[in-house]
Structure formats: C-alpha cells, structure tokens
Structure 1
C-alpha cells in the first residue's frame, strides 16, 4: 500500500464496516480535513517546501464537497432517516448518461467505501454497503442523534483511465436536535478499553507524519490484525464544511517490514489551515474499533471547545 494521502470531495468524514456501524471512541482529539484530490493527487503529498501560510499554493484538493465530479453523480435515494431507528440506506453512482455504475475497481478489499459523518463531527460511521446487479447499493445505518449528516462515497470506476473519486451528499436525521461543540484537541483517545496516542502535527500544504500507537491496560498492542488490507485506516474531516481526507498508512501486512503494532504511521497533508477531526479504524481480537481526535492545522487552536463525548458503539 502506498504511503500518502487520499483526498476526495468530502462532505463527511467518515463510517462502519460495510453493513456494520463503527463506534467512535471517547477521549478523542481535534482533527480537521479538507477537500480531496483525484486519485493520483490524493496519494501525492504536497511539495515539502510549501509553507503553512501558503494557502492555495501546492495545497491538495479536498474531497466530498461535490455531489458530481468527473462525469459521475451520487444519487442518494434515502435523503432522510429518523434518529435512533435502524434504516436501510440506498444509493447509486450514475455516469454522465444517467446510468447506474455496475463495475468498480476494488481498493482495500472493497469496490466502494461509504462514510457517514454528522456536521458537528461527533458521529462517524464507516460502512460497507452491498451492490445489487442493477448498481443499487444498500446498507443499514443507525444514527444516534438528529441533525445534519454528510454521506461520502469513495470509489474508482472500472473504466480504463478512471480516477478515484469521493462524492458527497447531505443526509438529514429527524428528531429533537441540540447542537454541540467540537471536542477539544487532545493527544489521547480512548475506546472500548483501548488507549490510542497521537504524535505528530497535521500541516497545511506540507506533508507530515502522524503516528498512532495503540495500547490496552498500559501495555502496547503488538498483534493488530489486518483490516481492509492494512493495520489501520485514517480518515480526516475538516470542521465547517466536512472536506474529506482519506489517509493511508505506510507499508502493509505481510511485506516483511511493517510491524503489527503498536504504532501505525500515516503521511498526510492538510488542504488548508483549520480544525480537523481524525478517525482511526483498527482491528484487534476480531473487532474493529474507531478512535477519534480533534486537531488544528497551521493555526492557533480556537478557545473553548467541549470535552470529548462518546456516543458510538463497538463494531
């Protein structure tokens, strides 16, 4: 797996295992993500010489901000759900002639990755939907709170020369709504008895290493299990517009060099200064868990901020 940053039009960070919802851990730190680039761009870090203040210069594009791109459109057939109810989410990807796409290139063991994130970045799901022969994708989803959400479809059409895309669409969950602040930035996240430590800084326009180390009961976890072809998957969403960054780790299981923990390293470039929410998916003892962080790229952290609140559940 190539080290690098995969960015796409991101209206949302992120989802649970295809067909299974991911829970967001407690004690999460601050992270913000921007709009993602096309396939080749997403895996190419910005020039190392780009300064943090060089907005617009060598900045990677953010993903998930558009419902249509490159001749493809995300057709979300379930634009509204009820908070707290398990609902079948249905959608299709249509080509420039309006036909549902039925052939995709497999990436990280799947044809398409679906992320659902709340506008306040406190709820995150990484889902793995099922595709019918007619190109319709479906997956169950259970969103805990009312409010606005963003759905991100991350895929590469099988057509020769097609680039990786991330398309985004808005999703509404009905019910009583109470807005919440972005959790404060922190270097430690806790989820289901695990503790994840984040070292490194997310920088706008400059590639940097983010290192996440997993431990449990004070002991490092050295037997992480492969999940979707890697020991960890990291998604970053930018606060404010939910621009999407999909970051991939260096190395891969079985390459003879990459250790199975406790640390998983990623190289990432933020598309702009701002606050981001990071979501790390990792697998141990047969279960996938998600640790979340709030981070600030290239700017003084905003004052205030709410303490971390966990409302997710295990995979």
Structure 2
C-alpha cells in the first residue's frame, strides 16, 4: 500500500470513530428556551443557573472552541490510553494572540477542567496548574481508547465567564461504550446518593441529592470548591456542558452541611443527560454519577453500581 492509500485509510478510520458523535450532536437543539422570571445566568452558557436577573439565549457551554474573544488552545490533542500523560493547554485572547495570565477565581479556582469520554462513562474533574506564561498543565490517565471532550471553565480578569471545549483522542484498541442506564440512586465508596427531582426542558428544575452512609444521613459534609456539592451535567450526543451550582453556601447561616444538597438547573432540550456530583467527606472527594432524561416520564428509582475507577477525581481533591 503506498503512502497516499495509507493516509486515506487512516482518515477514514478517524471519521468512522468520531463521525457518529458529531452527527448526533448537530441534530440536537443548541439553544435554550426562555427561562421563567427570576432565572439568571452568569453570562457564559444558557444552561447555567443563578439567582435573580434575566437569561440570554446563547448556545450551551462547551460546544465551541472559541467564544467571547477567547480560544482554548489544546497543545496535547492526543494521549495514549492507560498511560499518564501531561495534558497541556492555554487560553488565548483572539485579539492579541497572547495567552491569558490573569483570571478571576471562581469556586476557589482560576480554572476548572473537565475531561469526559464521548460515551459519558469516563469523567475527570481536574485542577491544572498555570505557568507564568499562561500555559496550563495537569497529569491525566484515561483508561480507554476513543474520543473525549475537554472543557475549560474560567473567567478572564475583566471579561465574562466562559466554558470552551476541544476534542481529545486517546489512542489504543477502541471499543465503543453505551450510556449507563437511567437511575436515581448511586453507590460510591460506601456512600449512597439519592437524586430527587426531574429535568424539564427549557425550565428551571429543582434537584436534590441526599448523601447517606450505612443507611445513616451524612450531616457533616465538608466544603469543596466553596460549596457542599459540585454538580456537572453533560448532554448525551454533543456533550453540551452544564455546570450547576448549589443553592446556598457554607457559612451563609442557612445552608446545612448535608445530608441534602439542592440545585436549580435548566436543560436546554429533551434528551439524556449524565450528572456527576462531587462531594467531600472525611477529607476525600467522591463522585456519584447518574443518567437522567429531560422531558421523559418519571421512572422508579433504579440503583446503579459503584462507579469504577474511570470516574475518580484528580489527586489534588484530597488536600
């Protein structure tokens, strides 16, 4: 086989691997419906919820590599599955072409990095470090080959908050996965988490996640990233990104440290979503994962098995 044929065959293989996910994503509605009065977004994604004010009709976060005058420049677009790799990237200001070095911290961090597989069975919440020149880096170990999406959630100093996304490939023997079944309870590391509430497309929805251990309510959750819980939701298909924040915060005089953590969220369209809840107890962060359907009839609670290692958090969550 000559070089030209080899290149053509390689390109065809890539298209077969990633084309399906892209095609599903483009078929989904990227724009949120209007919110009920009083809803508010922080300005960087129509899916995000807040308190008071109005909501703009904007595409969900993470679908664009460039937005608002900034670009996510992923310097490590390919890693090897099963091997720890230093993932490097930068946020570049389009007008100047320079890497951003000044950020406004949100939830105790200048930048939050999420890495998720296209089938939503692998999830990483990472906190990279920034060099003086604006280059971010963090070790990442992805267990399986296939397509992944990298999300950078940040707020440049003096600018609006943004969530940008870029594709990442993990090389190796590829076996497609399937979206985990719908369920309202999850078990992780001896903890049980129950999800109450449903997602309604185009409307604010109340979600409550209750943490227990050995059948007893956990009433001493520890603050993590400025809250008692941290919820990320990704839409199946195009991986539109929803970064939800809890109602209330530690020290506000009304919010209790468990067992219940409440959120208000909006799904931009009907369909399947994967929810990942981070919570901290006994000095360690754990992640409970759920699959839910917005716009679908409620189903009876279905327990899910303990999340495997591919849902684990980065090591700095333990400090």
Output the TM-score relative to the length of structure 2.
0.79
Query: Contact 2:267–2:294 at 8 Å: present in 1 too?
Result: yes
Moved >2 Å (runs of 4+): 32-48, 57-61, 299-302, 307-315
Could you tell me which of 214, 227, 230 is aligned with 1:230?
227
How far apart are 1:39 and its partner, in Å?
A: 3.7
Task: Tell me the residue number matched to 1:252.
Answer: 249
- Which protein shows a greater Rg? 2
Query: Contact 1:46–1:205 at 8 Å: present in 2 too?
Result: no
Task: Tell me the residue number matched to 1:9.
Answer: none
Query: Contact 1:33–1:243 at 8 Å: present in 2 too?
Result: no
Cα distance between partner residues in 1 of 2:73 and 2:272: 29
Indicate the structure with greater helix content: 2
Could you tell me which of 206, 217, 223 is aligned with 1:220?
217
How far apart are 1:300 and its partner, in Å?
A: 5.7
Are residue 166 (structure 1) and residue 163 (structure 2) matched?
A: yes
Match runs of 1:96-115 below 5 Å: 96=94, 97-115=96-114
Match runs of 1:182-193 below 5 Å: 182-193=179-190
How far apart are 1:44 and its partner, in Å?
A: 4.7
Task: Tell me the residue number matched to 1:262.
Answer: 259
Cα distance between partner residues in 2 of 1:88 and 1:291: 26
Cα distance between partner residues in 2 of 1:33 and 1:310: 31
Secondary structure of the residue aligned to 2:116 is strand
How far apart are 1:61 and its partner, in Å?
A: 3.4
Could you tell me which of 58, 64, 67 is aligned with 1:66?
64
RMSD: 2.6
Indicate how the Cα distance of structure 1 residues 239 and 47 shifts in structure 2: closer, same or farther if over 3 A, else same.
farther
Cα distance between partner residues in 2 of 1:108 and 1:253: 12
Query: Contact 1:47–1:207 at 8 Å: present in 2 too?
Result: no
Could you tell me which of 279, 283, 286 is aligned with 1:286?
283
How far apart are 1:35 and its partner, in Å?
A: 7.1
Cα distance between partner residues in 1 of 2:191 and 2:266: 27
Are residue 43 (structure 1) and residue 42 (structure 2) matched?
A: no
Match runs of 1:6-17 below 5 Å: none
Secondary structure of the residue aligned to 1:139 is strand
Task: Tell me the residue number matched to 1:23.
Answer: none
Task: Tell me the residue number matched to 2:23.
Answer: none
Tell me, which stretches of 5 or more residues in structure 2 are unaligned? 1-27, 33-40
Spell out, residue by residue over 1:124-180, the C-alpha distance to the aligned partner (whole angstroms, 9 max, x if none): 000000001100000010111110000000000002xx1110000000001111111
Output the TM-score relative to the length of structure 1.
0.80
By relative contact order (CA 8 Å, sep 6+), the higher-ranking structure is 1
Secondary structure of the residue aligned to 2:280 is strand
Secondary structure of the residue aligned to 1:288 is strand
Cα distance between partner residues in 1 of 2:74 and 2:153: 14
Query: Contact 1:115–1:125 at 8 Å: present in 2 too?
Result: yes
